[in-house]
Amino acid sequence: VQLQASGGGLVQAGGSLRLSCAASGRTFSRYVMGWFRQAPGKEREFVGAISWSGSYTYYVDSVKGRFTISRDNAKNTVSLQMNSLKPEDTAVYYCAARTRSSASIYYLNPPDYDYWGQGTEVTVSS
């Protein structure tokens, strides 16, 4: 599985960005997909996850109501819509795929995922 994240950039506080993650593989629709971020000097942090069908999503409290994850299984893509961005959202954002059997979407730690994209940088200026 190969993941390619894109869509990062520089945006002013209060603005929006949409990140995309394109995945290879014929079984993409079976994967739980997650988004993580890593700010300079900090550990990689869970942002949110989406079920294989797209019916269920889960977010870290700090982004609830501002970020939305969606997926298009026909196109093998997952997206992260980020609104009302804050300077503290500045980080490199990574998409990740969990290809192991998944009983839920509550996989909050990096070792829970099997494949990672290369990351896309988001900078929010104040």
* Residue-level pLDDT, tens digit, the chain, 126 residues: 999 999 999 999 999 999 999 999 778 889 999 999 999 999 999 999 999 999 999 999 999 999 999 999 999 999 999 999 999 999 999 999 999 988 898 999 999 999 999 999 999 999
d(CA 93, CA 79): 12
Instruction: Please provide the DSSP assignment of 91-121 as one string.
Output: EEEEEEEE-S--S-S---SGGG-SEE---EE
